[in-house]
Structure 1
Amino acid sequence: MAVREVCAAVMERDGLVLIGRRAEGAGAGLWEFPGGKRRDGETPEGCVARECREELDVVLRVGDCLTAFDWSDPPMRFSFYRARIVAGEPVCRVHTQLAWVRPQALGEYPLCPADVHALDSMHLDAKEE
């Protein structure tokens, strides 16, 4: 079975990060860092930029990978990239809500399991790009 790759944006602005509440499907009602599945021939950074353009109507500058890990059930590879919005203001196209939150407050939101796992290795208090 092929491993599906999911790439997400950790968008930072004024000391806050953007999360969205899933509208449907697996994890409906849980919060996540926006992103999605990487297409064949697409770079992870390109995936992050495309998904956020499609889902949030924003243009990003995608930075370094903050963390990446494999998930076993189902087999998936998750990558989380630091990003900055360079054009547009996020709108809800696929999420029911969007929220700019302090990194220290992310634990107050019911996050998708992969996003919870990612928080353990991301250093969101580090200097922003």
Structure 2
Amino acid sequence: MDDNELNEVREKRMATLKEKLEHQSVAGGVIQVDQLHINDLLQKHPALVVDFWAEWCGPCRRVGPVIEELAQEFSGKVTFGKCNTDENQQLALQLNISAIPNIVFFSHGKMVDRVIGAYPKEAIREKILRNFP
């Protein structure tokens, strides 16, 4: 395979990944966040809430449905995502995630707040309203 063919394959793969990323952000849905696409997501979504979690984490399993409900409630205003810290350790380190669940609020690409622990839905809703008026 020559360089031109390799570049074509890379471009097609990137286009496929971007299209997949676009389709993940369906109205009211929770998108998957990973270290490869975090910068694109931060640029695309001015109000972004990311739930950092792991499969083995009991409190994370309690927060997951809350995030999904809030994603429905704030559909069209705030984008919600989930990031598995076991699969994205570099991103977790970069954002100083040392305990989970850890919900991080990004406004226009900048981290503006976070919630560490399994907070009730109302408490998370209050943080959303405070950070994204």
TM-score (norm 1): 0.29
Higher RCO by CA contacts (8 Å cutoff, separation 6 or greater) = 1
Larger radius of gyration: 2
Bigger fraction of residues in helix: 2
TM-score (norm 2): 0.28
Bigger fraction of residues in strand: 1
